[in-house]
Amino acid sequence: MSLLEIHEPGETPLPHAGEASLAVGIDLGTTNSVVAIAREGVPAALHDDSGKSLVPSIVAYPDAGGVLVGEEARLLMAREPRNTVASIKRLMGRGAADLHAVAGVLPYEIEPGSGQTDMVKLRIGGKARSPVEISAEILKALRARAEAALDKPIERAVITVPAYFDDAARTATRDAARVAGLEVLRLVNEPTAAALAYGLDKGSEGLYAVYDLGGGTFDFSLLRLEKGVFQVLATGGDAALGGDDFDRAIAERMLAERKKDGVADQVDEAAVKTVLALARQIKEQLSGRDQASGRLELAGIPSFHALGRADFEAMIAKDISRTLDIAGNVLADAGMTASDVQGVVLVGGSTRLPLVRSAVAGMIGKPALTDIDPDEVVALGAALQAEALTGGGDTLLLDITPLSLGLETMGGIVEKVVPRNTPIPVQLAQEFTTYHDGQTAMAIHVVQGEREMVADCRSLARFELSGIPPMTAGAARIRVSFAVDADGLLAVSAEERTTGVAQRIEVKPSYGLSHDDMADMLYDSLDNAEADVTQRLLVEARVEARRNLLALEAALAKDGSLLGADERVALDAARAHLEAAIAGEDRDAINAAAEALENLSKPFAERRMDRGIREALAGLSVGELESRVGE
């Protein structure tokens, strides 16, 4: 194995002088992948010998040795299920805690112990393999296809990712390309790439929507097209919703039918793969006719299954209506309504379903644009961008952050620093301060998501800023800067402003710390906005009350002698009362107890102030006093 070259973060090597290498566009999809090239503004997907452009995103590590990708890997699936892996994209950048979202979809053995602080690994072909190295095999195969078709070495590519991919998944994709020997010129969001492919005729101007329902992910984006400028206004989606879910629904139904007929199936990996393959065939047939059927054989026991289109559509209606809800939210984010949209581009194999087409047309009120093959359109757009980036083009692509980025503050509240739908690249900073007197370090916890509480967002990174000089609580000025580059990748740095203690990190995701799947985050944020606000107010009340208690404690330690014994007893009782209220869930009780304590401690505060003034004035002459007052 050759050694990998690792460059400075953010730097990529210059192409070899004098050697003009071509750059391709790659759609690394959940179900299928495509590689394409554009020459003089005309993109074309690259085909294999049999004329197919789609490469199934399946990798096999056969017992016989070697690696197979695509159609050949698919053929091996039934015979050597433990050696093949499909839909690996769903695991890119995922930790163990994310797996419940895809449990049941991915019939794989997870390597024990992996995914706690790193990405999960799969046990495939008797070896632990990461999603990055498995994806790299697909990219290598695409690269080989391109080199064969173009008869030139290919070292650079634009690779597409779902707009909704988080930082971890983007980083994993870029890493996979490196392993495959490809320099990533740019990670481009899939809907944006699709719009690029459609934006060829410069005549189309105005607001366009891209509805992208693939095998495993859903994205909805709004773009404004104007004189060669592609400006993404808002985007939203679900990183765990796609055609695979429809297959699974059909598969579960078939297994239930067998169970009803008294068949006791052992549903092992091989069985799951067989059932899913048949389910997919039935689903695809239903796009062209009203009824489809198939024969299933598990452990030598055959069964026949029929499904009507109406029944199938009822099974997936909830998922489709969810995509429309997301689309509605994206429109609202952009301050637009469906009638502002001039056209909607359909992307992804799942948009072949008649139900999807009619639902989208119904929502937007205009028939969808489908003249470019929905399976190829993303790769074609990526190829156009690859040509523009290497050969220089006139199009300008202005993209945005799909999810808000922020920091954890006291009480587990998220302070958003970069809101979602902010144009990239972006550099934004916010100042934070210390909570305790004499605090010398600060834990910085970077999160991604729309919810108010940290526990509901995805944890991206944690680091500690140490060496803060001891100061009174609230005196330090910690400036935390977020920079998101044009690939949508994040770097975070923190600096104590009074002394210049600087620390910088590139975000490396801390997998598996989040309870929610990132897919649910944005969607949940609207569901839970009211509950979140209540929770946030409660937490804020607690934080404020604790801050006052700490300040009072410090004052008592220093000037406790100013209080009479009775006063002290009353004050301690009020402190205990507030502590008890903080432990409860009632914000009003906390505020009432805090107010009572504040009133009770007022005379003490006044006496402290008097003493402070007396001390300051002690021994000063009138002249000195005047000059001080004049300061």
Annotated active-site residue 89? The verdict is yes
Range in contact with another protein (rule: CB under 8 A) among 64-72, 99-107, 279-287, 528-536: 528-536
Among 72, 485, 567, 598, binds another protein (CB under 8 A): 485
Annotated active-site residue 151? The verdict is no
Residue 97, amino acid: A
Among 276, 483, 581, 590, binds another protein (CB under 8 A): 483
Of the candidates 267, 256, 260, the one whose C-alpha atom is nearest the C-alpha of residue 298 is: 267
CB of 21 to another protein, least distance (A): 11
Annotated active-site residue 27? The verdict is yes
CB atoms within 10 A of CB 435: 17
Site for another protein in 341-400 (CB under 8 A): 388-390, 396-398
Of the candidates 357, 18, 8, the one whose C-alpha atom is nearest the C-alpha of residue 213 is: 357
Site for another protein contains 226 (CB under 8 A) = yes
Per the listing, tokens 């009072």 go with 552
CB of 226 to another protein, least distance (A): 7
Question: Which residue among 98, 133, 190, 238 is the active-site one?
Answer: 190
> Applying CB under 8 A, what is the total number of residues that bind another protein?
36
Site for another protein contains 530 (CB under 8 A) = yes
Site for another protein contains 229 (CB under 8 A) = yes
CB of 483 to another protein, least distance (A): 7
Site for another protein contains 594 (CB under 8 A) = no
Complete DSSP assignment for 18-60: T---EEEEEEE-SSEEEEEEEETTEEEE---TTS---EESEEE
Site for another protein contains 313 (CB under 8 A) = no
Among 533, 573, 616, 625, binds another protein (CB under 8 A): 533
What stretches of 485-591 adopt beta strand conformation (E)? 490-496, 501-506
CB 408 within 8 A of CB 219: no
| Distance between CA atoms of residues 53 and 376, nearest Å | 8
Per the listing, tokens 């050694």 go with 3
CB of 359 to another protein, least distance (A): 14
Complex with another protein: residue 227 or 295, whichever CB lies closer: 227
CB of 8 to another protein, least distance (A): 8
Complex with another protein: residue 147 or 524, whichever CB lies closer: 524
Would you mind telling me the total number of residues written for the chain in this entry?
631
Annotated active-site residue 190? The verdict is yes
CA Rg, the chain, in Å? 30
CB 512 within 8 A of CB 95: yes
CB of 392 to another protein, least distance (A): 8
Who contacts 458 (Cβ-Cβ below 8 Å, separation ≥6)? Answer: 166, 168, 447, 448, 449, 514, 516, 518, 521
Pairing of strands 68-69, 413-418: unpaired
Of the candidates 393, 392, 487, 396, the one whose C-alpha atom is nearest the C-alpha of residue 20 is: 392
Complex with another protein: residue 196 or 372, whichever CB lies closer: 196
Who contacts 402 (Cβ-Cβ below 8 Å, separation ≥6)? Answer: 163, 164, 165, 189, 235, 236, 237, 420, 421, 488
Among 281, 303, 329, 439, binds another protein (CB under 8 A): 329
Over the window 283 to 302, marking each residue x when it contacts another protein by CB under 8 A and - when it does not, the resulting string is: --------------------
Question: Which residue among 80, 89, 319, 452 is the active-site one?
Answer: 89
Among 3, 5, 8, 565, binds another protein (CB under 8 A): 8
Task: Encode 214-244: b = buried (16+ Cβ within 10 Å), e = exposed.
Answer: bbbbbbbbbbbbeeeebbbbbbbbbbbbbbb
Site for another protein contains 440 (CB under 8 A) = no
Interface residues with another protein (CB under 8 A)? 8, 10-11, 14-15, 185-186, 226-227, 229, 231, 321, 325, 329, 332, 388-390, 396-398, 422-428, 483, 485-486, 526-527, 529-530, 533
Q: Which residues are catalytic?
A: 27, 89, 190, 212
